[in-house]
Amino acid sequence: MQVRACQLGADMGDAAARLKAIRWLIVDAASDGADVIVLPELALTGYGAGDAIRDAAETIDGATVSQLRKLADENDIAVVTGIALREGETVINAALIVRPKQAPLVYAKQHLFGPYEKALFSAGNKSCEIFEVGGLKAAALVCFDVEFPERVRELAQAGAQVIFVPTALPAGASGKMVAEYVVPTRAFESQVFIVYVDHVGSDARFVYQGMSCIAAPDGSRIVSAPDNKPQLMSATLDPADFAQSIADNPYLAELALHRRP
């Protein structure tokens, strides 16, 4: 799987400016041969936009998702992005998965972070559907979800080899700990790749950690971004490159052996 992960500046502007930039990023990633492009949490509005996020939330059949589907089809690339979506009377903080010529998939963030998110969104209660992209089985989480080992493990047990994580990790000692150590540990303990993609810089409400990374099953960070500027990261993900780590650390196989009825 060829991945393009985009750490974006938090000061990209309003939704129209963001969609224009994202359109260019999708075309650029596809021209470089990427199978999938991954963008941060709430990339279409910006994480710190407050009530404007709820106001702008569309349904899965709305204009924004339709434009992303058209871009995916035209450029033969999958898009994974954070987005606010309206489901009936509720709004969810979602990972949207758009693949060429296929119906979009939606994962609703289960672990909302703090009063800001809890005032804006309703929490999801289901794991992400496993899907295929670039020859690998994949799934998605959103930001805080990945800090719960249970969320990563259940996806790995369901067959995911890669987990995409749009995030809006806040800057600080805890943020640095999550980006530098927690995410690679989650990859190692479930023997999966994790594509973790943050904003960087600041908006009207928050300052972001940056330090986006692609973590491998052996706990290494294949590529990583700095904490002070936007960065485009590209990587080839192939489980065969980490076959020894998977063999040496058979956590999933051991759990399957000891699964209680």
Catalytic positions: 41, 109, 143
Angle ∠(233,239,242) on CA atoms, nearest 5: 95
Dig out the tokens for 17 from the structure: 């400016």
Nearest by Cα to 100 from 36, 196, 22: 36
Q: Which helix (H) or strand (E) holds 235?
A: strand 231-236
Q: At what angle do helices 149-157 and 183-190 cross, to 10 degrees?
A: 30
Alpha helices of the chain — where are they, by DSSP H?
15-31, 51-56, 63-75, 114-120, 149-157, 173-177, 183-190, 243-248, 251-257
Its sign, for the CA torsion 86, 88, 91, 97, is negative
In contact, 159 and 192? CB cutoff 8 Å:
no
Dihedral (CA of 100, 165, 167, 103) sign? positive
Q: Which alpha helices (H) appear in 50-142, and where do they start and end?
A: 51-56, 63-75, 114-120
Tokens representing residue 130 in the block: 């496993």
Q: Take residue 174 and report the two structure tokens written for it.
A: 């805890």
How many Cβ atoms from other residues are within 10 Å of residue 220's Cβ? 15
Q: Which residues pair with 193 in a beta bridge?
A: 162
